Structure 1
Amino acid sequence: MSGGPVLDEQRLKHLELLQSVIARLGNNSFLIKGWCITLSGVLVAVADRSPGRETIPVALALAVGFWLLDGYYLRQERLFRALYERVVGDGDDPPPPFTMDAERYGGPVSWFAVLLSRPTLFCYGVLAAANCLLLVFTH
Protein backbone atom coordinates (compact mmCIF):
# COMPACT_ATOMS: atom_id res chain seq x y z
CA MET A 1 0.00 0.00 0.00
CA SER A 2 1.28 3.44 -0.94
CA GLY A 3 1.77 6.22 1.60
CA GLY A 4 1.03 9.01 -0.90
CA PRO A 5 -1.83 11.50 -0.73
CA VAL A 6 -5.33 10.31 -1.50
CA LEU A 7 -6.85 12.42 -4.29
CA ASP A 8 -10.56 13.08 -4.56
CA GLU A 9 -12.52 12.75 -7.80
CA GLN A 10 -12.51 16.50 -8.48
CA ARG A 11 -8.71 16.76 -8.23
CA LEU A 12 -8.25 13.67 -10.40
CA LYS A 13 -10.40 15.23 -13.14
CA HIS A 14 -8.44 18.49 -12.83
CA LEU A 15 -5.18 16.56 -13.19
CA GLU A 16 -6.52 14.79 -16.29
CA LEU A 17 -7.34 18.16 -17.86
CA LEU A 18 -3.87 19.46 -17.06
CA GLN A 19 -2.26 16.30 -18.46
CA SER A 20 -4.10 16.72 -21.75
CA VAL A 21 -2.95 20.35 -22.05
CA ILE A 22 0.65 19.37 -21.25
CA ALA A 23 0.52 16.60 -23.86
CA ARG A 24 -0.82 18.98 -26.53
CA LEU A 25 1.84 21.57 -25.76
CA GLY A 26 4.58 18.93 -25.94
CA ASN A 27 3.21 17.69 -29.26
CA ASN A 28 3.11 21.25 -30.63
CA SER A 29 6.73 21.75 -29.63
CA PHE A 30 7.72 18.52 -31.37
CA LEU A 31 5.86 19.49 -34.56
CA ILE A 32 7.46 22.95 -34.59
CA LYS A 33 10.94 21.41 -34.40
CA GLY A 34 10.11 19.07 -37.27
CA TRP A 35 8.74 21.85 -39.47
CA CYS A 36 11.72 24.09 -38.75
CA ILE A 37 14.28 21.44 -39.65
CA THR A 38 12.38 20.47 -42.79
CA LEU A 39 11.86 24.02 -44.06
CA SER A 40 15.43 25.04 -43.25
CA GLY A 41 16.72 22.06 -45.18
CA VAL A 42 14.55 22.94 -48.17
CA LEU A 43 15.68 26.57 -48.14
CA VAL A 44 19.35 25.59 -47.88
CA ALA A 45 18.90 23.15 -50.78
CA VAL A 46 17.28 25.92 -52.84
CA ALA A 47 20.15 28.27 -51.93
CA ASP A 48 22.63 25.68 -53.15
CA ARG A 49 20.93 25.52 -56.57
CA SER A 50 20.38 29.23 -57.10
CA PRO A 51 23.17 31.65 -58.03
CA GLY A 52 22.23 34.14 -55.31
CA ARG A 53 22.20 33.66 -51.59
CA GLU A 54 18.90 35.38 -50.86
CA THR A 55 17.31 32.28 -49.36
CA ILE A 56 19.88 31.82 -46.58
CA PRO A 57 18.75 34.91 -44.61
CA VAL A 58 15.19 33.62 -45.01
CA ALA A 59 16.27 30.27 -43.54
CA LEU A 60 17.98 32.10 -40.68
CA ALA A 61 14.89 34.21 -39.99
CA LEU A 62 12.77 31.06 -40.18
CA ALA A 63 14.96 29.30 -37.59
CA VAL A 64 14.79 32.29 -35.23
CA GLY A 65 11.02 32.61 -35.68
CA PHE A 66 10.43 28.94 -34.95
CA TRP A 67 12.84 29.20 -31.99
CA LEU A 68 10.69 31.97 -30.48
CA LEU A 69 7.46 30.09 -31.16
CA ASP A 70 8.80 26.87 -29.66
CA GLY A 71 10.05 28.83 -26.66
CA TYR A 72 6.51 30.05 -26.10
CA TYR A 73 5.08 26.51 -26.19
CA LEU A 74 7.84 25.13 -23.95
CA ARG A 75 7.29 27.92 -21.42
CA GLN A 76 3.56 27.22 -21.39
CA GLU A 77 4.30 23.52 -20.89
CA ARG A 78 6.56 24.27 -17.92
CA LEU A 79 3.91 26.54 -16.40
CA PHE A 80 1.27 23.82 -16.70
CA ARG A 81 3.65 21.23 -15.25
CA ALA A 82 4.20 23.51 -12.24
CA LEU A 83 0.43 23.95 -11.90
CA TYR A 84 0.03 20.16 -12.10
CA GLU A 85 2.56 19.74 -9.27
CA ARG A 86 0.68 22.28 -7.19
CA VAL A 87 -2.62 20.50 -7.69
CA VAL A 88 -1.04 17.15 -6.73
CA GLY A 89 0.73 18.57 -3.67
CA ASP A 90 -0.77 19.07 -0.25
CA GLY A 91 0.41 22.65 0.16
CA ASP A 92 -1.16 25.32 2.32
CA ASP A 93 -2.43 27.36 -0.62
CA PRO A 94 -3.84 25.02 -3.29
CA PRO A 95 -5.09 26.53 -6.56
CA PRO A 96 -8.86 26.79 -7.07
CA PRO A 97 -10.57 23.67 -8.42
CA PHE A 98 -10.33 23.29 -12.21
CA THR A 99 -8.23 26.41 -12.66
CA MET A 100 -6.24 26.55 -15.88
CA ASP A 101 -4.52 29.86 -15.08
CA ALA A 102 -0.96 28.58 -15.26
CA GLU A 103 0.46 32.10 -15.32
CA ARG A 104 -0.96 32.87 -11.89
CA TYR A 105 -0.73 29.50 -10.15
CA GLY A 106 2.09 27.75 -12.01
CA GLY A 107 5.02 29.65 -10.62
CA PRO A 108 7.78 31.74 -12.19
CA VAL A 109 9.10 30.41 -15.50
CA SER A 110 11.39 32.69 -17.49
CA TRP A 111 10.80 32.75 -21.24
CA PHE A 112 14.43 33.75 -21.77
CA ALA A 113 15.65 30.76 -19.74
CA VAL A 114 13.46 28.46 -21.83
CA LEU A 115 14.87 29.92 -25.06
CA LEU A 116 18.40 29.22 -23.84
CA SER A 117 17.69 25.73 -22.48
CA ARG A 118 19.67 22.79 -23.87
CA PRO A 119 16.92 21.33 -26.09
CA THR A 120 16.16 24.63 -27.82
CA LEU A 121 19.81 25.64 -28.14
CA PHE A 122 20.69 22.27 -29.59
CA CYS A 123 17.96 22.40 -32.22
CA TYR A 124 17.63 26.06 -33.16
CA GLY A 125 21.07 27.29 -32.16
CA VAL A 126 22.72 24.73 -34.43
CA LEU A 127 20.37 25.63 -37.30
CA ALA A 128 20.95 29.37 -36.84
CA ALA A 129 24.74 28.89 -36.59
CA ALA A 130 24.77 26.70 -39.71
CA ASN A 131 22.74 29.27 -41.62
CA CYS A 132 25.10 32.05 -40.50
CA LEU A 133 28.10 30.03 -41.64
CA LEU A 134 26.44 29.35 -44.99
CA LEU A 135 25.73 33.05 -45.38
CA VAL A 136 29.36 33.94 -44.66
CA PHE A 137 30.99 31.25 -46.81
CA THR A 138 28.74 31.19 -49.88
CA HIS A 139 29.79 33.10 -52.98
Structure 2
Amino acid sequence: MTGHPPLGEQDLKHLELLQSVISRLGNNSFLVKGWCITLNSVLVAAGNRSPAWTAILVAVTVTVGFWLLDGYYLRQERLFRTLYERIVAGRDDPPPVFTMDAQRYGGSVTWLGVLLSRPLLFCYGVLATADSMLILFLG
Protein backbone atom coordinates (compact mmCIF):
# COMPACT_ATOMS: atom_id res chain seq x y z
CA MET A 1 0.00 0.00 0.00
CA THR A 2 1.12 3.55 -0.64
CA GLY A 3 -0.31 4.86 2.60
CA HIS A 4 -3.08 6.77 0.85
CA PRO A 5 -6.65 6.25 1.96
CA PRO A 6 -8.79 4.23 -0.45
CA LEU A 7 -10.79 6.16 -3.00
CA GLY A 8 -14.32 6.93 -1.92
CA GLU A 9 -17.48 6.89 -3.97
CA GLN A 10 -17.16 10.60 -4.77
CA ASP A 11 -13.58 10.08 -5.94
CA LEU A 12 -14.65 7.25 -8.22
CA LYS A 13 -17.43 9.37 -9.72
CA HIS A 14 -14.90 12.15 -10.24
CA LEU A 15 -12.57 9.75 -12.04
CA GLU A 16 -15.43 8.51 -14.22
CA LEU A 17 -16.20 12.10 -15.16
CA LEU A 18 -12.56 12.69 -16.06
CA GLN A 19 -12.49 9.46 -18.10
CA SER A 20 -15.48 10.60 -20.14
CA VAL A 21 -13.81 13.95 -20.89
CA ILE A 22 -10.58 12.20 -21.90
CA SER A 23 -12.53 9.87 -24.20
CA ARG A 24 -14.38 12.76 -25.82
CA LEU A 25 -11.15 14.66 -26.45
CA GLY A 26 -9.51 11.56 -27.94
CA ASN A 27 -12.51 11.06 -30.22
CA ASN A 28 -12.39 14.71 -31.33
CA SER A 29 -8.70 14.32 -32.16
CA PHE A 30 -9.48 11.24 -34.26
CA LEU A 31 -12.27 13.06 -36.12
CA VAL A 32 -10.02 16.05 -36.83
CA LYS A 33 -7.43 13.74 -38.42
CA GLY A 34 -10.11 12.14 -40.59
CA TRP A 35 -11.49 15.46 -41.77
CA CYS A 36 -8.00 16.77 -42.51
CA ILE A 37 -7.08 13.79 -44.65
CA THR A 38 -10.42 13.90 -46.48
CA LEU A 39 -10.28 17.63 -47.24
CA ASN A 40 -6.62 17.40 -48.17
CA SER A 41 -7.38 14.63 -50.67
CA VAL A 42 -10.21 16.63 -52.22
CA LEU A 43 -8.04 19.74 -52.55
CA VAL A 44 -5.13 17.84 -54.08
CA ALA A 45 -7.52 16.17 -56.53
CA ALA A 46 -8.88 19.62 -57.40
CA GLY A 47 -5.28 20.69 -57.97
CA ASN A 48 -5.22 18.66 -61.18
CA ARG A 49 -7.00 21.56 -62.83
CA SER A 50 -5.29 24.84 -63.49
CA PRO A 51 -4.02 26.73 -61.58
CA ALA A 52 -2.93 23.68 -59.58
CA TRP A 53 -0.66 25.39 -57.08
CA THR A 54 -3.49 27.51 -55.60
CA ALA A 55 -5.59 24.48 -54.63
CA ILE A 56 -2.56 22.77 -53.15
CA LEU A 57 -1.57 25.94 -51.27
CA VAL A 58 -5.05 25.87 -49.73
CA ALA A 59 -4.46 22.20 -48.86
CA VAL A 60 -1.26 23.14 -47.00
CA THR A 61 -3.13 25.87 -45.13
CA VAL A 62 -5.94 23.45 -44.24
CA THR A 63 -3.38 20.91 -43.02
CA VAL A 64 -1.68 23.45 -40.76
CA GLY A 65 -5.04 24.63 -39.42
CA PHE A 66 -6.13 21.09 -38.55
CA TRP A 67 -2.67 20.42 -37.07
CA LEU A 68 -3.17 23.33 -34.67
CA LEU A 69 -6.71 22.22 -33.80
CA ASP A 70 -5.64 18.63 -33.20
CA GLY A 71 -2.74 19.89 -31.08
CA TYR A 72 -5.24 21.76 -28.92
CA TYR A 73 -7.37 18.64 -28.38
CA LEU A 74 -4.35 16.44 -27.70
CA ARG A 75 -2.94 18.95 -25.19
CA GLN A 76 -6.27 19.13 -23.37
CA GLU A 77 -6.42 15.33 -23.28
CA ARG A 78 -2.92 15.16 -21.80
CA LEU A 79 -3.78 17.78 -19.18
CA PHE A 80 -6.83 15.80 -18.09
CA ARG A 81 -4.80 12.59 -18.04
CA THR A 82 -2.31 14.31 -15.75
CA LEU A 83 -5.14 15.42 -13.44
CA TYR A 84 -6.56 11.88 -13.46
CA GLU A 85 -3.19 10.29 -12.68
CA ARG A 86 -2.44 12.72 -9.86
CA ILE A 87 -5.81 12.09 -8.22
CA VAL A 88 -5.39 8.31 -8.47
CA ALA A 89 -1.84 8.47 -7.10
CA GLY A 90 -2.94 10.75 -4.27
CA ARG A 91 -0.18 13.23 -5.09
CA ASP A 92 -2.51 16.12 -5.66
CA ASP A 93 -3.32 18.62 -2.99
CA PRO A 94 -6.87 17.87 -2.05
CA PRO A 95 -8.70 19.47 -4.97
CA PRO A 96 -12.21 20.77 -4.64
CA VAL A 97 -14.70 17.99 -5.14
CA PHE A 98 -15.17 17.22 -8.83
CA THR A 99 -12.62 19.79 -10.01
CA MET A 100 -12.05 19.92 -13.74
CA ASP A 101 -9.20 22.43 -13.50
CA ALA A 102 -6.57 20.65 -15.56
CA GLN A 103 -4.97 23.94 -16.62
CA ARG A 104 -2.86 24.02 -13.49
CA TYR A 105 -0.68 21.35 -15.16
CA GLY A 106 -0.12 23.52 -18.22
CA GLY A 107 3.57 23.92 -17.49
CA SER A 108 4.16 20.19 -17.72
CA VAL A 109 2.33 19.83 -21.05
CA THR A 110 3.30 22.52 -23.55
CA TRP A 111 1.34 23.16 -26.71
CA LEU A 112 4.50 23.29 -28.84
CA GLY A 113 5.66 19.99 -27.36
CA VAL A 114 2.34 18.42 -28.33
CA LEU A 115 2.39 19.92 -31.84
CA LEU A 116 5.86 18.48 -32.43
CA SER A 117 5.06 15.07 -30.92
CA ARG A 118 5.60 11.99 -33.10
CA PRO A 119 1.92 11.22 -33.79
CA LEU A 120 1.12 14.73 -34.96
CA LEU A 121 4.37 15.14 -36.89
CA PHE A 122 3.75 11.84 -38.63
CA CYS A 123 0.19 12.70 -39.63
CA TYR A 124 0.32 16.41 -40.39
CA GLY A 125 4.02 16.79 -41.13
CA VAL A 126 3.80 14.18 -43.87
CA LEU A 127 0.69 15.82 -45.35
CA ALA A 128 2.19 19.32 -45.26
CA THR A 129 5.48 18.09 -46.75
CA ALA A 130 3.72 16.19 -49.53
CA ASP A 131 1.55 19.21 -50.34
CA SER A 132 4.59 21.50 -50.34
CA MET A 133 6.42 19.18 -52.72
CA LEU A 134 3.40 19.16 -55.02
CA ILE A 135 3.47 22.96 -55.06
CA LEU A 136 7.14 22.89 -56.06
CA PHE A 137 6.63 20.30 -58.79
CA LEU A 138 3.39 21.72 -60.19
CA GLY A 139 4.31 25.39 -59.81
- What TM-score do the two structures reach when normalised by structure 2? 0.92
Question: Matched residues in 1 for 2:41 and 2:93: separation?
Answer: 49
- Hey, what does 1:111 align to over in structure 2? 111
- Hey, what does 1:125 align to over in structure 2? 125
Contact 1:115–1:121 (8 Å) recurs in 2: yes
Contact 1:86–1:95 (8 Å) recurs in 2: no
1:105 CA drift (Å) = 5.1
Contact 1:86–1:106 (8 Å) recurs in 2: no
Q: Deviations over 1:19-60 (max 9, x none)?
A: 000000000000000000000001000101x12121011000
1:92 CA drift (Å) = 6.0
- Hey, what does 1:52 align to over in structure 2? 51
**Structure 2 counterparts to residues 47-126 of structure 1, below 5 A:** 47-48=47-48, 50-53=49-52, 54-91=54-91, 93-104=93-104, 108-126=108-126
- Hey, what does 2:39 align to over in structure 1? 39
Percent identical: 68
Q: 1:90 to 1:122 in 2, by over 3 A?
A: same
Q: Give structure 1 stretches of 5+ with no counterpart.
A: none
Equivalenced residues, count: 136
Contact 1:60–1:128 (8 Å) recurs in 2: yes
Answer yes or no: is 1:20 the counterpart of 2:20.
yes
Q: 1:58 to 1:38 in 2, by over 3 A?
A: same
Contact 2:56–2:134 (8 Å) recurs in 1: yes
1:97 CA drift (Å) = 1.6
- What TM-score do the two structures reach when normalised by structure 1? 0.92
Aligned letter for 1:60? V
Q: What secondary structure, in the 3-state scheme, does the structure 2 residue paired with 1:98 have?
A: coil
Q: 1:13 to 1:129 in 2, by over 3 A?
A: same
Q: What secondary structure, in the 3-state scheme, does the structure 1 residue paired with 2:99 have?
A: coil
Query: 4+ residue runs of structure 1 moved beyond 6 angstroms?
Result: none
Contact 1:47–1:55 (8 Å) recurs in 2: yes
Q: 1:95 to 1:74 in 2, by over 3 A?
A: same
Deviates more, 1:127-136 or 1:3-12: 3-12
Q: Give structure 2 stretches of 5+ with no counterpart.
A: none
Question: Matched residues in 1 for 2:57 and 2:71: separation?
Answer: 21
Question: Matched residues in 1 for 2:17 and 2:107: separation?
Answer: 18
Contact 2:86–2:92 (8 Å) recurs in 1: no
